[in-house]
A and B are shown apart, each in its own frame.
Chain A
Amino acid sequence: MDAIAVFFWLLAALAVAGALLVVITPHIVHAAVGLILALSAVAGLFFLAGAEFLGAMQIMIYVGGTVVLLAFGVMLTARLTFVRMRTTADQWVIAILLAAPLATILLQSAWAYGHLKSAQLSLETKATKAEVVSATDLGLALVGVRPQVDGVNGSERQSALDQTTRDGYILPFELVSLHLVVVMVGAAYLARRRME
């Protein structure tokens, strides 16, 4: 039990607790709070895995953006009191029948990955210094420059990917920017007040 394990179990427990709260509660605002808990814990897990930029993005986009959007949606679609829509027992049975086999299959494949890797690795390959993916690398990749792949950094790491990723991610980046503009205009139009 090293320090990383302690923090991992704490964050994983919070994420699972948040997800279970979302599933179990019939009250929509409690479900939104459960989502906040789960997403913040996932951001913490990202930080623990060394993806700092992604963790900050998770906080900013998901927790600070999407969940605020959902909260506003909850408030705008509320009537006098929040109606508690309870799910009936037969619906729960169907859901469990669906979820249990799915979970079993996925958990088995996750478990098998660990055994696959342990067959190939030994204690000697454990290095003292891990590579770091910094925000600089991410930013440069989004603009179309891949220093690690093209060897500017002098790194020995050879990528097995083909030419399309050697060019960086500038095309998806531009497409996503266009997509966001379209979504903004479309959502603003869709959510307009209907003039009856």
Chain B
Amino acid sequence: MDEIVAHWLQISATSAWFVTVGVALLQVALLLAVVMTLVAAATWAERKVAGRIQDRLGPTRVGGRFGWLQPVADGLKLLTKEDIIPLNADRILFRIAPYLAFAPAFAVFMAMPFSDGWVAQRLNTAAFFILAVLGLEVFGIILAGYASGSKWSFLGAMREAAQVVSYEVPLTFAALIPILLAGSMDLVAIGEAQRGWFWNWFVFHDPFTFVAFWIFVTCAVAGTNRAPFDLAEAESELVAGFHTEYSGFRWSVFYMGEYAAMAAVSGLGAILFLGGWNGPIPLASILGLTEAVGPWAGFFGHFLGAINFLMKCVSGILFMMALRWTLPRLRIDQILSMCWKYCFPLTALCFVGVTIWMLAFPDGVLGIGHPKTETGEFIVYVVKIMAEH
């Protein structure tokens, strides 16, 4: 895209760098717009879902019958609040901590494909990159807890950091299983390996992957500090944990970061296990909207896939919200023991089980077969040649 813009503006090669930077900023702005809309809608959805589960209506006054403009009202209120910094706080760290918690959750969308080939930056280690960057959120938490200068915040932050860091391990292990099945860490390739009908989705591939999917869900909920794992930020426990001393706009930055992280792990789970942009029925290829027919048909086919992906993201977010208002909260020792004594051994067992399943049934149980990926085939070919030597 930068060559097109540079040619259009008739800029020489030596000054073309700011065209590249400008185009990159434009792409980042588009991504941010999509994710911010999702986050704003999620704040409205949270209150509606909470209300419905508790047998009441939720917001109904701002913006008509359904309270559509409630997020706008919330945002305005938070922006106009007084900006308080505690006396004992470390000023610089107090100011940058919310942004350190918010930035990774948005940065992962850079490598997340919304449809076949529709990804901001196609990395061949995309799944690994997303898992690594999601692990950076713990810094915002630690620094916020330390910089607030109060004991509640510090204690809550340490507990929460321990929880997030512990749950990263089974999360990565569970995410490793679809990577194993597809033979590549490239999320576009993983999505392509699940094309077709819904029985090609990795979650239905074998019982071990099915269990691994539910472990992924548990670890994702725990990693984003949502209930029932939200001891560290629960209002009835430690006042508000690490964001006790934050008010107004800074608190809303933490809040946005939490919703963006929820959207990110929902999206990741959708691509890894639930087929990503492939629907239950391959609508695009049935209607003939593929690349082979023509560019516009391909565009509409991919657009249907993107809608599918966003629907899966949103249903993941709604599931997490419903979970929050359904299950009671766990204690910190219960959370950590569940991670190390139950989730982690179970995930390791599933990993071994999947490798054995892949060796025993390389073409699926009923011999139907499933879509192959380029990298997976290359690895199988290389291993075969090495075995012959």
Contact = CB atoms under 8 A, between A and B. Distances in A.
- A contacts B: CB pair < 8 Å: yes
Interface of A: 1-3, 5-6, 29-30, 33, 36, 52-53, 55-57, 59-60, 63-65, 67-68, 71-72, 75, 134-136, 140, 145, 147, 150, 152
Interface stretch (B297-305, B314-322, B364-372, B374-382): B374-382
B136 A136 contact: no
Given A3-B21, A140-B379, A135 B124 contact: yes
A46 to B, nearest CB: 11
Q: Is the interface of B mostly helix, strand, loop or mixed?
A: helix
Contact of A56 (B16, B129, B158, B161): B129
Contacts of A5: 17
Interface residues of B, number: 42
A145 B382 contact: yes
B385 A152 contact: yes
B158 A75 contact: yes
Interface string B112-151: 0000000000011100110111011011001100100000
Given A5-B17, A29-B90, A72 B161 contact: yes
Contact of A59 (B132, B154, B184, B383): B132
B34 to A, nearest CB: 23
- Chain A to chain B: the 6 pairs with minimum beta-carbon distance, closest first: A3-B20, A64-B135, A60-B132, A59-B132, A3-B17, A56-B129
Nearest to B149: A81
B230 interface: no
Contacts of A140: 379, 382
Contacts of B18: 6
B233 interface: no
B21 A6 contact: yes
Given A29-B90, A56-B128, A60-B131, A68 B386 contact: no
B136 A145 contact: no
A27 to B, nearest CB: 8
Contacts of B381: 152
Contacts of B15: 1
A134 B123 CA distance: 10
Interface string B62-96: 00000000000000000000000000001011000
Contacts of A57: 128, 132
Interface string B150-179: 000010001001000100100000000000
A140 B194 CA distance: 24
B93 A63 contact: no
5 contacts: A3-B16, A60-B131, A64-B136, A65-B135, A67-B139
A26 to B, nearest CB: 14
Nearest to A75: B158
Given A63-B139, A136-B124, 8 more contacts: A6-B17, A56-B125, A59-B129, A59-B133, A64-B132, A75-B146, A140-B379, A152-B382
A135 B128 CA distance: 10
